[in-house]
Structure 1
């Protein structure tokens, strides 16, 4: 990567201040007529308070970006999210709540208990006609479907403590599932169901072997699958207020990684598998094959990626350790676990077509790097991996200096294959210092984008999003 481009991507980490509802976006190219719905994306958009920068990218105050597609046109909206704790810290002009990588100075802790901050900065959930911003150390934050304004935090009537930023849909059950972490004498995994057209349900809790951190999981028609890495939280240091949450996470490779499989219909009979140590932030998909569960995920050798994630938001000082795409096979009868590398390219944020969820899929889409020289900055490529042949293809994003977010697939009308559709990705264009959403043809990655829809401003790179088709 050239020095110019290395400097350029830093513009994707500037505080966002131009809140606005839906307004027409400039369309470059031609939008497909059958692309109809709303792309929603959530990420950190304000990176400090009171003149003090946060300690980690994960700590930034959340914001939401949306594009409505329809009739060959696009409208865009962008807003900072205003949870009670974000508002309180902004009004005080200082950090008054603990975060993943930032904490309140010890002398301020003497005045009383310090609560966690709901940064509402990780993902988005569209559920039963409502929109929510998600943050795994807090409650869902409901957003207006009309203009994205913040409405209120909610426990959905059932949330015991926290609610993960990664719910997963199981089409066969007409429901989505999620979890929350609860620390105490025993660390508990609280499990939730979100049925279509009905109220959320609390399913129960599964105890975990120690105070760990789980960011994501995956679902099949009958099971929920968790990778429990040998990451352990130093509870005594946390209770004494010594350092932020991330500073008290310890990698203990000797413990190995344990895989937890929870039968959806019987939480009392979880299955455990033991394997070598590794870490996974994100899953792509999973499906059942007889007595086997097949799971696609991005595998990291250890938790070293945490350091890169901390520094990239400050301008990048280290090289990304780079996770790679793996396929794991779990045999429920023999209790064996094996995992095979399916791509050598450093990548993250794996996604499949919505119709392929919990089914055997062929294509998987990732955000990736064009080469080793790009590893110091954000992802600068979108990739498609053929899980049958192993073929990797990078999409043509156009000129240099394009930095991308997680790809989101939406099918063409009457699609019958999992590459018959469009890949949408938020892009920070370093040369212009503006943000656009690129609409890519999933069947023709070598072709330039079908269209780009441009905002009149930059918006920081978001973590996760989803596409809500027009009803």
Structure 2
């Protein structure tokens, strides 16, 4: 069977009942919102990268054992302009939009100037986030679009730059237990300096709940960190956070600002202006959340590329940081559709598989420690941090497993020690055919398979007043490639991965490779959740409810050309790995 990635989605804005097989837990009440590209061609033009496709929102509402589905395109300015012209007229990261040949010289000159100092797209096809009382579709540009999470209608356009001097912003914010939101953005050449800005959006107070004031008006800058290279800031997709620290990886995968300014004139896309420097080290910044001060110790490791953080926590004078890492940037190249048509395996294309790595960052003083000594004292890990000189450590990660991506945890344990991680197996192919439940020393091995199906990343929803970290369910949207058969939402028991129920939606679902993350807001909701590497938000619906967001893994920074992927046997397997992250 095949998945046609170039096929445009069809909206279904009115809620439609799904056919439920099995019994959905009574406590599972709320709405899962997913976001990803869904429109890949307009008129005679088409996008060169799949992730450039225009945002398509899907929602799955759970209430009293029933499921309803609806979908809409995000009515961004980009969408409206493209539809009005009946061609792609707004450039994306991997697709440059050139003027209609029939346009006059003045129009072409204006288009050129707009690309020299780019006004980025508001095609927010990467994630769903929550700021204050509001929910937004987001990518990684300075624009986000407010949406109604229940009807999926598009509302206000918000520009970060009206509140902060940031040109690029992560689509993976973090939420604490008080409802505060933390995020990071890049300020390019502002007052002659290029820097990373870490900021907090305070929680909404009781007096502010009924006000229609954008939460960004209360934004607070925690600190700024100068870019290691003035005109080549590091690309990042997410960051880590513990109770007391923010962890930021400044990796040698960089945006060349000068090349981006001339890309349109040179006839190349903006994505081609990103370059990996394998000879350079990776810097890990540790920042105190309360004071905004950087920890004096400098942490270095070898070159790597990280898109998704798993979790981070503090333990006996150390910060433990779990990430999914690659040895190079071949993941971007892998998603060109011309390559996916030929072969999607890691082995034949020479791409490196992702691996789950654990870094340990000692935060105590290194005074009295000899050069060459390992400062990691935790017994449950082989990760090291060796003193090179006063105030500088070289860190070596422990590799927990390979071929694992799109990690999710019970977000109640974000910033805390965790035992369980949910994700996708990408052992043989860039396109996952397996969903994984991993990392407990005593877990058993379970599996079930479904032929000709492609799973999304798993989303863990904790049971209200649950007794353990894995007490809840895992939601997976599944694309069924068999003609005439419906796609479905699969509900698994979080403790043993046994199927609880599935809901057939009687429509085509479009593949997204992304995630989001969100917190639990105990004041408004008794059950909440989410972390899709990339997105999630919690909507205060009736007691015992939740709202999650899901989005596409590569955001605006990558993608692949439209086309069709063929597979003779594409099983979906839900698997518990016998791996340990025992503490």
Aligned residues: 454
Matches of 2:442 and 2:69, distance apart in 1? 36
Larger radius of gyration: 2
Equivalent residue for 2:455, pick from 391, 404, 407: 404
Matches of 1:391 and 1:53, distance apart in 2? 47
Matches of 1:217 and 1:145, distance apart in 2? 25
The answer on whether the counterparts of 2:15 and 2:68 sit within 8 Å (CA) in structure 1 is yes
Unaligned runs of 5+ in 1: none
CA shift at 1:350, angstroms? Answer: 0.7
Cα shift readout 1:346-387 (whole Å, capped 9, x = no counterpart): 121111102111110000111224x52xx05x211110111x
The answer on whether the counterparts of 1:285 and 1:358 sit within 8 Å (CA) in structure 2 is yes
Indicate whether 1:143 and 2:147 are aligned: yes
Q: What's 2:220 paired with?
A: 202
Equivalent residue for 2:312, pick from 286, 289, 302: 286
Indicate whether 1:303 and 2:361 are aligned: no
Q: What's 2:49 paired with?
A: 56
SS in 2 for 1:254: coil
Cα shift readout 1:101-157 (whole Å, capped 9, x = no counterpart): 111349876333133212211111134443211111132211113311111212477
Length-normalised TM-score, structure 1 = 0.89
SS in 1 for 2:62: strand
CA shift at 1:467, angstroms? Answer: 6.4
Matches of 1:339 and 1:111, distance apart in 2? 49
Q: What's 2:180 paired with?
A: 175
Equivalent residue for 1:468, pick from 538, 546, 557: 538
Cα shift readout 1:134-187 (whole Å, capped 9, x = no counterpart): 11113221111331111121247734334321111222x542211122222533
Length-normalised TM-score, structure 2 = 0.73
Matches of 2:186 and 2:320, distance apart in 1? 25
Q: What's 1:327 paired with?
A: 358
SS in 2 for 1:183: strand
After superposition, the Cα gap between the structure-2 partners of 1:402 and 1:92, relative to the gap in structure 1 and judged at 3 Å, is: same
Matches of 1:83 and 1:269, distance apart in 2? 38
SS in 2 for 1:187: strand
Cα shift readout 1:221-263 (whole Å, capped 9, x = no counterpart): 1111111211122322221123222111111111121112222
SS in 1 for 2:397: strand
The answer on whether the counterparts of 1:383 and 1:393 sit within 8 Å (CA) in structure 2 is no
Q: What's 1:120 paired with?
A: 124
CA shift at 1:325, angstroms? Answer: 1.3
Matches of 2:360 and 2:443, distance apart in 1? 20
Q: What's 1:251 paired with?
A: 276
Indicate whether 1:34 and 2:27 are aligned: yes
After superposition, the Cα gap between the structure-2 partners of 1:314 and 1:52, relative to the gap in structure 1 and judged at 3 Å, is: farther
Greater relative CO (CA pairs within 8 A, separation 6+): 2
The answer on whether the counterparts of 1:282 and 1:349 sit within 8 Å (CA) in structure 2 is yes
User: Superposition pairs for residues 322-401 of structure 1, below 5 Å?
Assistant: 322-333=353-364, 334=366, 335-336=392-393, 337-344=395-402, 346-369=403-426, 371-372=427-428, 375-376=429-430, 378-386=431-439, 388-389=440-441, 396=448, 398-401=449-452
Matches of 2:339 and 2:11, distance apart in 1? 20
SS in 2 for 1:422: strand
CA shift at 1:393, angstroms? Answer: 5.5
CA shift at 1:85, angstroms? Answer: 1.9
Matches of 2:279 and 2:289, distance apart in 1? 30
SS in 1 for 2:487: strand
The answer on whether the counterparts of 1:427 and 1:435 sit within 8 Å (CA) in structure 2 is yes
SS in 2 for 1:98: coil
CA shift at 1:64, angstroms? Answer: 1.2
The answer on whether the counterparts of 1:230 and 1:255 sit within 8 Å (CA) in structure 2 is yes
CA shift at 1:197, angstroms? Answer: 1.5
After superposition, the Cα gap between the structure-2 partners of 1:30 and 1:54, relative to the gap in structure 1 and judged at 3 Å, is: same
Indicate whether 1:99 and 2:156 are aligned: no
Indicate whether 1:277 and 2:303 are aligned: yes
Matches of 2:444 and 2:261, distance apart in 1? 47
After superposition, the Cα gap between the structure-2 partners of 1:43 and 1:395, relative to the gap in structure 1 and judged at 3 Å, is: farther
Q: Which segment drifts farther, 265-274 or 280-289? A: 265-274
Indicate whether 1:224 and 2:277 are aligned: no
Q: What's 1:442 paired with?
A: 494
Unaligned runs of 5+ in 2: 102-106, 206-214, 367-391, 517-535, 544-583
After superposition, the Cα gap between the structure-2 partners of 1:341 and 1:392, relative to the gap in structure 1 and judged at 3 Å, is: farther
Q: What's 2:559 paired with?
A: none
